[in-house]
Amino acid sequence: MKKFFAMMLALAMLLTCVSAFADDDVVTLKIAHIGPTTGGAALYGQATRDGAAIAADEINALGGKYRVELINEDDEHNVEKAVNAYNAALDAGAQIILGTTTSKPCEAVGALAVNDRVFMLSPSASSEAAVEPDNVFQVCFTDPNQGAASAEYIAEHKLGTKVAIIYNNADVYSTGIRDTFVEKAAELGLEIVTQPITFTDETTDFTVLVAEAQNAGAEIVFLPIYYTPASQILTVAAAKEFKPIFFGVDGMDGILEIEGFDKSLAEGVMLLTPFVATAQDEKTVSFVTKYQEAYGIKPIQFAADAYDGIYIIVAAAEKAGITAEMVRKAEEEKDPSEICEALIAAMTEIEVEGLTGTMTWDESGKVTKTPMAATIVNGEYVFE
């Protein structure tokens, strides 16, 4: 049997000499996407899954040296299930992880992957703790970065100085952004005019919270929260004729897609986001068209993050010079550590121009890209 393989290998090498891109030269990266495709955060997991699938199809259709084989595992946005999903993905032969989509599962999986030496690139897990292991990198900003970047944006563009913050204190994402926003705001001379205005996942009535911000005379209401409570806050504010500038972060992405929500209420809302589906550049248009054809809906930022994620992994693999031999060895020995180390080293050296901006990384795993804010005008996200 070994002899047979040796013969085949020799034959393959011969063929390589003849044609530049013979089959043996193709390196198929086995990438597992892990994200919540069911459960409460399913919108995000499905978006990252579908975005990654489009990127993988493009790369495979292009027929270059690197091909992508995607494995999908669902984590239900649950720590225990995420660990199970990770183990199942490795059982299925995954060698690189694109995930996980949400922060807490990413922390739990990262703690295992760092010991197993499996490379991880999370499209959208934004907590600081998620990137702590040396093998985990991010496509999106960390929460603290989003908070600080929002404060900077507000100060730089002189949107106002009196700020009220309404946030979910039972949510890591929300509290994380709020904390750094407050810190940065103090530095930049923005004034927080109220006591902390907080709610939890169970809150359904936002009247009191909005009234508090209104009575304090806030010019800007910072909403480091997801779009569902944000839509309720906007509705209440409209009823009270309270018209400050509402400033959100990436969790606000999706507010225009809520069924039964009056889009005119979101008019003038600003949000920090690296991607809007209505942008007119060639890359975005091509991605949005393909996405809409395949899934019938407009992609959200998470889809763009995952799309970039696949390209980033391929770019890193190229830089690291991952060979078919390395992939085969990892498969036989069930140990992708060689690939992992090579990718970690390559990540700090590459620069990727993606849908969500031009990105570089340092050893911490955090991404560097320019923050951008979109404004909602006529029911569409528009970049300034």
Partner 1 sequence: MTKAKRKRLIYNLITFALVIAAFIILQSMIANKMISRSLKGQLVPICAWIVMAVSLNLVIGFSGELSLGHAGFMSVGAYTGAIISGWLLQVYEVQDTTLRLVLAMVAGGLIAGIAGVLIGIPVLRLRGDYLAIVTLAFGEIIRSLVNVLYVGVADGKLHFSFLNKNMPAGVSMLVDGAKGAVKIKPVATFTAGFVLILITLVVVLNLVNSRAGRAIQATRDNRIAAESMGVPVTKYKMMAFVTAAVLAGMAGALYGLNSSTVIPTQFTFNQSINVLVFVVLGGLGNVLGSVVSATLLTVLPEVLRAFADYRMLVYAIVLILVMVFTNNPTIRAFADRLFAPVKAIFRRSKKKTAGGDAQ
CA angle, 221 as apex, 168 and 142 as ends, to 5°? Answer: 55
Interface segment toward partner 1; rule CB under 8 A; list 70-78, 208-216, 248-256, 368-376: 70-78
Cβ partners under 8 Å of residue 41, min gap 6: 77, 101, 102
Minimum CB distance to partner 1 smaller for 251 or for 354: 251
User: d(Cα 24, Cα 16) in Å, to the nearest integer?
Assistant: 7
Residue 182 engages partner 1 in binding (rule: CB under 8 A): no
Interface segment toward partner 1; rule CB under 8 A; list 6-14, 145-153, 171-179, 218-226: 171-179
Residue 159 engages partner 1 in binding (rule: CB under 8 A): no
Residue 354 engages partner 1 in binding (rule: CB under 8 A): no
Residue 150 engages partner 1 in binding (rule: CB under 8 A): no
Residue 171 engages partner 1 in binding (rule: CB under 8 A): yes
Per the DSSP assignment, residues forming a β-bridge with 271 are 248, 374
User: d(Cα 337, Cα 329) in Å, to the nearest integer?
Assistant: 10
Please give the backbone phi and psi of residue 108, each rounded to the nearest 5 degrees, phi first.
-65, -45
User: d(Cα 304, Cα 254) in Å, to the nearest integer?
Assistant: 13
The answer to whether the CB of 29 falls within 8 A of the CB of 69 is yes
Minimum CB distance to partner 1 smaller for 167 or for 247: 167
Residue 138 engages partner 1 in binding (rule: CB under 8 A): no
DSSP string, 312-349: HHHHHHHHHT--HHHHHHHHHHT-THHHHHHHHHHHTT
Site for partner 1 in 95-134 (CB under 8 A): 104, 107-108, 110-112, 127, 129
Minimum CB distance to partner 1 smaller for 111 or for 279: 111
Minimum CB distance to partner 1 smaller for 111 or for 238: 111
Minimum CB distance to partner 1 smaller for 174 or for 214: 174
Min dist CB 275 to partner 1, Å, is 25
Interface size with partner 1, residues (CB under 8 A): 31
Output the CA–CA distances (angstroms, integers) from residue 142 to 24, 57, 131, 213, 317, in the order listed.
39, 28, 9, 27, 24
Q: Which of 30, 31, 73, 98 binds partner 1 (CB under 8 A)?
A: 73
Minimum CB distance to partner 1 smaller for 74 or for 305: 74
Interface segment toward partner 1; rule CB under 8 A; list 53-61, 84-92, 277-285, 344-352: 84-92
Min dist CB 126 to partner 1, Å, is 13
CB burial class (10 A; 0-12, 13-18, 19+) of residue 272?
buried
Residues in the chain: 384
**Both tokens of residue 209?**
């919270």
- Site for partner 1, rule CB under 8 A: 37-38, 72-74, 78-81, 83-84, 86-88, 90-91, 104, 107-108, 110-112, 127, 129, 169-172, 175-176, 200
